[in-house]
Structure formats: structure tokens, C-alpha cells
Amino acid sequence: MKAEYINPFVESVYELFLTMLSCEVNRGDIGLTQEMGQPRDITALIGLSGPARGIVVLSFPVNTALSIVSRLLGSEVRVVDESLLDSVAELVNIVAGGAKAKLHADDPPIDLSLPTVVRGQRYSVEHPSKSSWLDVPFTSELGTFHLRVALEASAMVNEDQGVPAAARETR
Amino acid sequence: MKAEYINPFVESVYELFLTMLSCEVNRGDIGLTQEMGQPRDITALIGLSGPARGIVVLSFPVNTALSIVSRLLGSEVRVVDESLLDSVAELVNIVAGGAKAKLHADDPPIDLSLPTVVRGQRYSVEHPSKSSWLDVPFTSELGTFHLRVALEASAMVNEDQGVPAAARETR
């Protein structure tokens, strides 16, 4: 996967948190992962199609999701209800939409599907074994969370190029 | 949601089962559902974008998934492993791809994202509350399963038109 595919998503996360939540986030090491999802996490997914056929995922521990949505709405949210799930779905929509806008300049446009939210006691979210997730862990004062992006084989990571550097300096 | 949006998916399911699995399927009543996913089901999702921004889902009880993949591979599959999840992901890919081809004749093309598979002990798959899933239950000799299609509000079902008739006669 080329750097230009992951960086816009990382940038989008920075921007979302800074502009909508007044919260700086820090990313950890980008890694490859074949399977994803911690038990009890709230996982928001949105499909990508076009030059990059894939999926963008934001995966939040429940406490992180509650903190984020509390700040977003300006009042304390203590339960995982429909309104919280809507907000989490909107977050992945905004991140993917922001990335789409950044990618659009040089590439054919990427289209987004509807977001979906998975939650439960114990589950995993997987995708065909020919693809891999690029996993980006984030920390923030609102809690930890993960950004994960899967792209199909034709747009996969070029191992020789290594994992792209953070996009942070381009903010 | 117009009939032309759901029928191609139903047709695709019929064709997939008939051509790849030599299995006739029967559909039950089409309904609207706001939340989806039975505990323990294996749920394969694929995003749609373009004129219909949405998600297509095939949700199988574990036993149905094992029976389908056993017949597909020509040997008995008894465990849910990566190979089975790949096969289930491919099923939703084929159903969405078949529907895309049918829709293409009259409409702008629909693009597909990568498929994703969710499985676990207890989870639910939800989407923003402004949309609704159209749920189509199927029965077959390989077991029961569900087709679910979510489309965003701009392409939602027109309640006055009612639920579209089965596409079966067009096979």
C-alpha cells in the first residue's frame, strides 16, 4: 500500500480530533494485522471503492467512545445507545470523507459506502486472507483507539517501500 | 427503496445458489429491520457506493455456512477457519457483483468495497438510525440465511410503493 493511501486517513483523524473535539491525538507504530477487533470494542466501518477497494475502520474501547461522544455533544454520555452509535458511525464517515477529499487531487475519486457499527461482547472483524489491515494505534486524552485500513491486493503495501512515515508534519 | 434496488440482489442469491451450489432457495417475506445479526451468526458485509450508497449483508448461522462451504469445496468442512471465512466473504462479493451487473444496464454503475466478515459469540451489526435494512430471509436444503441491504436515505424505500415483489419470475 502506497504512503498516499494511508496518510490521508491519518491526517483526517488528526483533523477530526483537533477541529471537532479540541483534542490532540498521537499515533503509535503503524503495523500490519490480519485480524482485528478487541472484544467489547465499538467498531465503525465504511467501505471504499474506486481506485482503492477496501475498508476503513475506527475501533474504540467503550470508554473512549463515551468520552469522545460526550465531548462532541457537550454533555456526559454514559450509555451505549443509538445516538452514540450514530455519532461513532459519523466519525468514520468524516475520516473517510476527509481522506477522500485529500486523495481526490491526484487520483480518481474514491467512493464511500454507508458506515456500519459492530459491537458486542466477543467478536472479530476479518476480511479475506489475501488482504491485510494496516493498523494505526492512537492515544489521546479521550482514550486510545485504532484506525485500520484494508485495501485489496491490487493496491497493497509494497514491502520494499516499508511502512509510510507519519503524515503529521503535513498538517 | 425502489424495487430495482433489492430485486437484483435477490436474483443474485438465487443464481449463486443454483449455479455454484446446485441448490434452490426460497425467500420469505421481505421486511424492514433497524438492527441485524443473530448471536453466533457469521455475517459477511460489502459496501456499495455510487447511486446507491449502502451495504449488502449475508448472514449465516454457523451450520448453514459449514454446509454451503462444504458443498462449494466438495468436501466436508467442520470448523470455522480462515478458508471458510474467505468463502463466505466471496459469497457476498458474488451476490453484490451479480447485482451490480444487473443494475448497470439502466443506472450509473455501483461500486463495491472489499468484503468483511464479522463473527463472534454475541454481537450486533448496526448502521446509522436514518437508514433501514431491508431484510430477506431465505430457506434452503443447506440451511436458513438472511440477505440484508441497507441504502442511505436518498435512495430509501418509498412506503407508498410497498415492498417489492420477488424477483423470482425473472430468473
Output the average pLDDT for chain B. Answer: 81
Whole-model pTM: value is 0.81
Say how far apart CA A92 and CA A149 lie, in whole Å: 11
Output the average pLDDT for chain A. Answer: 81
Say whether B146 sits in a helix, a strand or coil: strand
Region B54-70: mean pLDDT is 94
Please answer yes or no on whether A55 and B126 come within 8 Å at the CB atom. Answer: no
Using a pLDDT cut of 90, give the percent of chain A over it.
47
- Tell me which residue has cell 424505500: B157
Cell numbers linked to A159? 514491502
| Orientation angle between helical segments B82-104 and B62-73, nearest 10 degrees | 80
Region B28-40: mean pLDDT is 71
Query: Which phi and psi (to 5°) does residue B42 adopt?
Result: -100, 120
Please answer yes or no on whether B118 and A117 come within 8 Å at the CB atom. Answer: no
Nearest by CB to residue B120, choosing from A82, A115, A124, is A124
Q: What's the farthest any 2 CA atoms get from each other in chain A?
A: 47
Q: How many CA atoms lie within 13 A of A76 on its CB side?
A: 1
Q: What is this model's ipTM?
A: 0.76
Residues of A with CB under 8 A from a CB of B: 45-50, 53-55, 82, 85-86, 89-90, 111-131, 150-152
- Tell me which residue has cell 476480511: A127
CA nearest to A59, candidates A138, A122, A5: A138
Cell numbers linked to B81? 477457519
Q: What share of chain B is helix, strand, coil (3-state, %, to 5)?
A: 35, 30, 30
Residues of B with CB under 8 A from a CB of A: 45-50, 53-55, 82, 85-86, 89-90, 111-131, 150-152
Please answer yes or no on whether A82 and B119 come within 8 Å at the CB atom. Answer: no
pLDDT of A158 over the 70 cut: no
Cell numbers linked to A93? 464517515
Region A2-8: mean pLDDT is 72
DSSP string, B110-130: PEEEEEEEEEEEEEEEE--TT
| Orientation angle between helical segments A3-21 and A82-104, nearest 10 degrees | 130
Say how far apart CA A148 and CA A35 lie, in whole Å: 10
Say how far apart CA A171 and CA A12 lie, in whole Å: 9
Say how far apart CA B116 and CA A48 lie, in whole Å: 12
- What pLDDT sits at residue B139? 96
Region A37-51: mean pLDDT is 82
Tens-digit pLDDT profile for residues A9-35: 999 999 999 999 999 999 998 887 655
Tens-digit pLDDT profile for residues A84-128: 999 999 999 999 999 888 876 566 678 899 899 998 878 888 876
CA nearest to A167, candidates A25, A19, A22, A48: A25
Choose the most confident range, by mean pLDDT, from A113-127, B27-41, B120-134.
A113-127
- What pLDDT sits at residue B15? 96
Nearest by CB to residue B127, choosing from A117, A127, A151, is A117
pLDDT of A39 over the 80 cut: no
Tens-digit pLDDT profile for residues B141-170: 999 999 998 876 444 333 333 333 333 333
Please answer yes or no on whether B127 and A121 come within 8 Å at the CB atom. Answer: no
Q: Let me know: does A90 contact A115? Beta carbons within 8 Å.
A: yes
Q: How confident is the model at residue B90 (pLDDT cuts 50, 70, 90)?
A: very high
Please answer yes or no on whether B118 and A111 come within 8 Å at the CB atom. Answer: no
Nearest residue in chain A measured CA to CA from B131: A114
Cα of B122 to nearest chain A Cα, Å: 6
